[in-house]
Amino acid sequence: MPSARPPTLALRDILFTQGFGTRRTCDALILGGHVRVAGQMVDDPRAAFATDRLVFEVDGVAWPYHDKALILLHKPAGYECSLRPSAWPGVHTLLPPPLRQRGVQPIGRLDQDTTGLLLLTDDGTLLHRLTSPKHHVPKVYHARTVHPVTTGQCARLVDGVVLHDDPQPVRAAAARPLDDHLLELTLTQGKYHQVKRMVAAVSNRVEALHRVAFGTLSLPPDLAPGQWRWVREQDLFGTPAARPANTGHGPGSTAG
């Protein structure tokens, strides 16, 4: 059987689905000569293009077409993951307007003082899959602690500790010391302040927390705090990439 043709959309609809405003706004961008496809200016809003692997430009900035957005952000300290932040600016302010217009939202939350890997998407199905407790997607944290990390504390975290609001033990999928005061903790749950509370339950305290991995996706070493990049859904469920034993750690999570 012949392969199906890739979907084709009018340029105005492409811009609209990618977050460049209302269709009237998108028409104005195209008619005003702000949009290029394959290096050529296109001034017809109804000109149709195959969306598969399409890259277009708006005011000289290249945008790959994505039916659903999945963004990896290196979250710095001092930003809230809430859609309605209160005391601190929202992580959305670190993204360009088209991504904010698309309505991407964080997959889970990190406290304002937690740094590291944060995913955002406008794909509701993926959002549910990655946040549902049924799917046990691992998340890896590096916690800088006040007191030395012991093998006994790590064993207790894996065996399970009881938090004050839940009589059922909460277990880490893995725990190991990276140095005297640096703990690597892998969780498959997402309780409020979970890392900080679990570490407190074994008589230690977190003073800085950094997420280094989500699923099989690790924080890229060349992605600076506040920067973002596109990722693919399959990057979350592929073969884990090796992580350095002592990757960066920063100030400290709603998962924390």
- CATH 3.10.290.10 segments of the chain: 8-64
Q: What is the pTM of this model?
A: 0.87
pLDDT number for residue 68: 95
* DSSP bridge pairs for 118: 73
Q: Percent of the chain scored above 90 by pLDDT?
A: 75
- In the predicted structure, residue 191 carries a pLDDT above the cut 60: yes
Q: Percent of the chain scored above 70 by pLDDT?
A: 90
Retrieve residue 246's tokens: 């002592």
pLDDT number for residue 134: 78
pLDDT number for residue 133: 74
- What does the alpha-carbon distance between residue 43 and residue 34 come to, in Å, rounded to a whole number? 8
Per-residue pLDDT tens digits for 107-165: 988 999 999 999 999 999 999 888 877 778 899 999 999 999 999 999 999 999 998 87
Looking at 38-47, 48-57, 78-87, 178-187, which range is the least confident one?
Answer: 78-87
CATH superfamily of the domain spanning 70-236: Pseudouridine synthase (3.30.2350.10)
Taking the CA atoms of the chain, what radius of gyration do you get in angstroms?
21
* DSSP bridge pairs for 185: 141, 175
- In the predicted structure, residue 250 carries a pLDDT above the cut 60: no
- What does the alpha-carbon distance between residue 39 and residue 36 come to, in Å, rounded to a whole number? 6
Per-residue pLDDT tens digits for 22-55: 999 999 999 999 999 999 999 999 999 999 999 9
- CATH 3.30.2350.10 segments of the chain: 70-236
Vertex 180 angle, CA 174 and 181, to 5°: 75
- What does the alpha-carbon distance between residue 26 and residue 14 come to, in Å, rounded to a whole number? 9
Q: Which CATH class is domain 8-64?
A: alpha beta
Residues serving a catalytic function are 111
Confidence of residue 244 (pLDDT cuts 50, 70, 90): very low
